């Protein structure tokens, strides 16, 4: 049996104590997540984070650092995801941008507001990434090495 982890990226975008979150439909229910998604062929991790954030929120962002690298096995399907989580600053919103299929919309929430909606989290990685960010886990983008 082949075991293939899924490489994903996520982006923590903060503005005055509020975090850019995505409401998306998964398995018939609306859940909250950071802007996140899979790495596409022939793109860097940083490019993937910028692309996914735009596709899911309509926001252009500038990555500023790496928050962490996480392994998560989803209890719903047993798939293991390797998430590289970036921090980024918001640059420009495109309110008419056509968001990805399954995306209900983007919203800005405080950490406390997120905790009130715990039942709607896509995974526990949401709060872990935000807490690592708030705890000062900001590693240089140079941590991400280019392909040879």
pLDDT in tens, 95-133: 999 999 999 999 999 999 999 999 999 999 999 999 999
Give 59's contacts (C-beta < 8 A, 6+ positions apart).
13, 20, 35, 53, 90, 91, 92, 93, 94, 106
Q: Is 21 exposed, middle or buried (0-12, 13-18, 19+ CB in 10 A)?
A: buried
Region 26-39: what's the mean pLDDT?
93
Helices (H) and strands (E) in the chain, counts: 3, 7
Q: Compute the distance between CA of residue 146 and CA of residue 36 in angstroms, rounded to an integer.
A: 20
Percent residues over pLDDT 70 in the chain: 99
Q: What is the pLDDT of residues 66-80, one digit of tens each?
A: 999 999 988 888 888
Structure tokens at 69: 């690298």
Asked whether the predicted pLDDT for residue 37 surpasses 70, the reply is yes
What are 89's strand-pairing partners?
A: 62
Region 85-92: what's the mean pLDDT?
98
Longest CA pairwise span in the chain (Å): 47
Residue pair 88/56 in contact by the 8 Å Cβ criterion: no
Asked whether the predicted pLDDT for residue 141 surpasses 70, the reply is yes
| pLDDT computed for residue 1 by the predictor | 63
Region 83-104: what's the mean pLDDT?
96
Asked whether the predicted pLDDT for residue 146 surpasses 80, the reply is no
Confidence of residue 5 (pLDDT cuts 50, 70, 90): confident
Mean of pLDDT over the chain: 94
If you search the block for the tokens 């798939």, which residue do you land on?
79
Structure tokens at 121: 């989290």
Residue pair 40/48 in contact by the 8 Å Cβ criterion: yes
Q: Compute the distance between CA of residue 10 and CA of residue 100 in angstroms, rounded to an integer.
A: 15
Asked whether the predicted pLDDT for residue 21 surpasses 70, the reply is yes
Structure tokens at 45: 């991790």
| pLDDT computed for residue 148 by the predictor | 63
């Amino acid at each position: 049996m082949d075991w293939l982890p899924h490489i994903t990226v996520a982006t923590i975008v903060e503005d005055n104590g509020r975090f850019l979150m995505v409401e998306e439909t998964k398995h018939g229910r609306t859940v909250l997540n950071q802007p996140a998604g899979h790495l596409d062929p022939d793109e860097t991790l940083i490019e993937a984070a910028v692309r996914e954030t735009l596709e899911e929120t309509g926001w252009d962002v500038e990555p500023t650092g790496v928050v962490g690298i996480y392994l998560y096995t989803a209890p719903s399907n047993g798939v293991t995801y390797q998430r590289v989580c970036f921090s980024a600053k918001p640059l420009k919103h495109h309110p008419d941008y056509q968001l990805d299929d399954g995306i209900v919309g983007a919203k800005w929430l405080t950490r406390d507001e997120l905790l009130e909606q715990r039942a709607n989290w896509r995974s526990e990685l949401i709060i872990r990434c935000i807490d690592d960010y708030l705890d000062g886990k900001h590693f240089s983008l140079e941590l991400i090495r280019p392909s040879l």
